[in-house]
Amino acid sequence: MWELIEQNRRKSKIVFFAMFLVLESLSILIGLSIYSPDGGYWGALFGFLIWIIQSMIAYYFGDSIVLSVSHATKVSKESYPVLHNVVEEMKIASSQKSMPEIYVVNDEAMNAFATGIRPEKSAICVTAGLVESLNRDELQGVVAHEMSHIINRDVMFMTFAGVMLGSINMIAKGFFYSTMAGNNSRRSRLGSRSSGGHPAIIIATIILAIIAPLLAQIFYFAISRKREYLADATAVRLTRYPEGLASALEKISGSAGNLVFYNRITAPMFIINPMALTDGESLLDTSTHPPTHKRIAILRQLQNGGKVSFRDYQTVFSKENGRSRLIPDSALADKGDVAVRSALQTDSEPVTVSNKARKITDMIMATNGFLFIPCTCGLKMKVPPTIGKSQIECPRCGRSLTVPSVTSGITHTGEKTKPVEGVNSSYLRTNPDSWESCLCSCGHSIQLSPLFRGRQVICTKCKAKIQIDYPE
Amino acid sequence: MIFALILLALIVLCFMFFIGIYNGLVGLRNRVKNAWSQIDVQLKRRHDLIPNLVETVKGYAKHENETFTKVTEARAKAMNAGGGSVKDISAAESELSGSLAKMLLTVESYPELKANQNFMALQEELSSTENRIAYSRQAYNDEVMIYNNKIEMFPSNIVAGMFAFARSDFFEIEDKSEKVAPKVSFN
């Protein structure tokens, strides 16, 4: 793992200087084609300034920019205990010293990303939809993948590469707009000075201004794809359970496109690119990430093989992708076997507090004779047996539904009985829009539904009438 | 003259190279030690969680006294085994795991307890702690593998031999109950 980090650092520096050279050559050429030869110096200075300013902004503010564009809010351990625990488990498994901050985006679509130039100042962000829909193994796979990006210094690398790409694009575009706009006026103004550069230089500049952004883009995407595979490999080495990440990716790819808050810049940072699934325009953007089905296939083969060291990932990767080498040889020195573990969570439904509570209340209602009436809009209504109506309106869509076999005076066994004359007691509802219990004099408790607006209930045990009053 | 200078430069380079390897080995050995202490941290976390858990369960399951005393005893034993050998620690901890599992089994018969918010939060903390113990062991074994690789591979094995860097052992928990196959008899 440490070899990957070292390799990343080295590659970052190489990318840094290579793209800096491209940037400087482009700006020098542009300068030369405007004023020659002073323009060259001005161009160099200008290019350098752009690069420095953008790098500093990315380094100091990159994190906060991405987090605010995505509308992410920091969450406490109390509100998301499982998420915090999963992140901390991964922090322990990767021997990290500091814990990343945890952010949640309030979006139903499932997705996740990580920010952080250094592990000491990093953050992992997931959507609310993701936390609710994944089970513990899948959540762990996603968190491990994001942490791997931080550990492998991918964020640092891709940020600097992205800044380079942005600067080159900006300068090239600026050049084209200025030549198109100011062509005539500039010629006439420059009359006395050494006029615009040699035609050969201008041609070279135009060529470079077209090629450089394209090359930088291709370079950026190729690196980005490689980083995703490496993050997958590191993630399964941490969790020892490739199936978790595989099924998480499957679930996410079904829903990632519905994400609301992202733009062209933040889209590639997510675990699955949300743009890749929506616009047709983003044909180029899809290539920031390798195809999801390939990632899943590799992970499932690893799960079947039973071993998850880097060497195993490399073997499966080469099978899928031909001769390509992903992991440097120095990282393949894992002499021991790294075996797969068994699943942490065996049931498929995510075990959240609300699910458990709902199951329990359904059970209680069923034993008390409640009627479960599903509406076609998807709402499942739970109607108390004493509702006294034969038609009710769905509170969500307004459809009128028949309540099966409910007539006034019915007990929970479904038979009609004669109500006892005379009301024994009355009950004032304090909160008509939620569940309430009222106690009959015989000791039996009666549940009153938030939908219930009847004026009388009949105790199922002793058949006593109870009057229900409502506040003004 | 030039030849001597070149030779000197080469010697200096070799020297620096060896220093680099030595420092690397020291760094790795310290990582192994740190990973070991991380396991202790997680074990201690489990010890601290248990009293709260026992009290919560006691509130509902008033008559299961035997289970509770077993858990408390096992916990005390595990805390005492703290500084000892790997074997003692792992034996005490697996005994604690066993008694905890039995207690959680009795919880199944108390649905009110299972639905209790407090208990559910504690159970999440407990299962997270079990995961953390497992992952800290995993991290320790990873560090040991890296360290052992460095010691045994060329060229760092030369430096390792010169300064007596010793192999570290993997942390393997012997769970005797897993190894004994159940005896089935049809008498």
Rounded distance between C-alpha atoms, residue A255 and residue A250, angstroms? 9
Per-residue pLDDT of chain A (472 residues; tens, 9 = 90+): 566 667 777 776 777 777 778 888 888 887 777 776 677 788 788 888 888 888 888 888 888 888 888 889 999 988 899 999 999 999 999 888 889 999 999 988 889 999 888 788 899 999 999 998 898 899 999 999 999 999 888 888 777 777 777 778 888 888 777 777 665 445 544 444 445 567 777 788 788 888 888 877 777 777 788 888 888 988 988 988 888 899 999 888 877 777 888 776 677 778 887 776 544 334 444 567 888 888 888 888 888 877 777 777 888 887 777 666 677 666 665 556 667 776 665 444 455 666 667 767 766 776 666 777 767 666 777 777 776 677 788 787 777 777 765 433 333 343 333 444 455 577 777 777 777 777 777 777 788 887 788 888 888 888 888 888 877 5
Whether residue A92 lies within 8 A of chain B, CB to CB, comes out as: yes
Q: Can you tell me the ipTM of this complex?
A: 0.80
Tokens, residue B102: 């039995």
Distant-in-sequence contacts of B146-152, Cβ < 8 A, 24+ apart: B146/A2, B146/B28, B146/B31, B147/B25, B147/B28, B147/B29, B147/B31, B147/B32, B148/A335, B149/A333, B149/A334, B149/A335, B150/B24, B150/B25, B150/B28, B151/B25
Under 8 Å CB-to-CB from A240, ≥6 apart: which residues? A308, A338, A339, A340, A341, B138
Selected for mutation to probe chain B from A80, A89, A341, A367 (highest B CB count within 10 Å) is A89
What does the H/E/C string look like for A221-272?
HHHHHHHHHHHHHHHHHHHCCHHHHHHHHHHHHHHHHHCCCCCCCCHHHCCC
Selected for mutation to probe chain B from A2, A89, A92 (highest B CB count within 10 Å) is A92
Find tokens 């430096």 and name the residue: B159
Answer whether A85 sits within 8 Å of B131, measured CB to CB: yes
Answer whether A89 sits within 8 Å of B111, measured CB to CB: no
pLDDT at residue A334, rounded to an integer: 57
B48-59 in b/e form (b: 16+ CB < 10 A) is ebbeebbebbee
Answer whether A353 sits within 8 Å of B42, measured CB to CB: no
Which among B115, B128, B131 has the least Cβ separation from residue A360?
Answer: B115
Active site residue A146: yes
Bond from prior residue into A37 cis (ω within 30 degrees of 0): yes
Angle at the Cα of A22 from the Cα atoms of A29 and A7, rounded to 5 degrees:
170
Is pLDDT above 70 for B178? no
Cβ-Cβ pairs closer than 8 A, A with B, add up to 53
Is pLDDT above 80 for B172? no
Task: Residue B128: list chain A partners with CB under 8 A.
Answer: 82, 85-86, 88-89
Which among A81, A89, A335 has the least Cβ separation from residue B121?
Answer: A81
Nearest-by-CA chain A residue for B148? A335
